Structure 1
Amino acid sequence: MSAVRSSKFAWPVRAIHWISAGLVLLAYLTSELTEEIAEGERAGPDWHVFAGLALLALFLPRLLSRAFTRTPPVTPPSPAWSVMLSKLVALALLLFVVAQPVLGVLSVWAEGHALAIPFTSIEVPPMLALGEDAGEALEEAHETLGNAFYAVIALHALGALWHHLFRRDDALRRML
């Protein structure tokens, strides 16, 4: 009797994927609020910072869950160019979920501010002091990279829809 293999990603992979999607959405929706909070008084937790730090915290569990679980094949198989594009987009997304929060933290520290950890009384003092100009440059890089991140996310989502609606394969269903 042979074991039935699931055509879905393992539940930890799926959970981390959808939690990450929610955190990216939260970061996007609160990005403008963060600037307003920085200019005025803090009125509660900084949800943008929370989302970024949570994404960064999920990075190691994401790598471990992918390393120790099987990636289900797409049925029917995709063309080689599609597989390569999928791998490049996945790599870009992994790099973004590390680079974005790190740039955010560095921009706060470069301007000489402590990083307030949301929902705690912990403030991590600046670990470098590059001055306000460097802080502004890092903040600009954070914003520019964020826009590129959203473009790659859109490509990822469009690819999933393309697979589902036009190729009619199970690429999207594997993550649901």
Structure 2
Amino acid sequence: MEYHLVYQLFPRSFGINNEIKSVIECFEKNYESIKSPDNNLSSDGVLKVISKDLEALNFRVEKSKLTNDKIKVPVLFGINNRIDKFFDADAVSADGKIVIEVEAGRGYRNNQFLKDIFQACMMPNVEFLVIAVRNHYHNSDDFKSIFQFLETLYISGRLQLPLKGIVLIGY
């Protein structure tokens, strides 16, 4: 089966803006190097491939799992404006409005996408969450599975998220 880069913005009631399109183009430009299942990269491996293109868009990108290389996004502030709680992100736009999370094997199976959504919703300035997942992982299509979940979430209208949108990318 031939796979292609696919993406969808939720809710589906409006189109993708130029900033989000530029992020998607980072994945499109590097698709041959990251596509699943041909390239069995970890999420860190995918992030490393696209990092220079994201940095060219003024994104801060996680360099490694070392504490100083992580991208910490504050979510709670305490006395004297000290950061009491933060969440790590794979990449964040310079203005803090777009957060990117790249997932590999545990994107769907371990419900990592749900944790990504929750954390992005707690980040005060975030407007868009971009979640990139594998198209193919152990005979399943993570993009399709998460697509169906997000479609149900937005169509039902039972849960209102504080985000303008979630972009799902399948690589």
**TM category, shorter:** under 0.3
Q: TM-score, normalised by structure 1?
A: 0.23
Higher helix share: 1
Higher strand share: 2
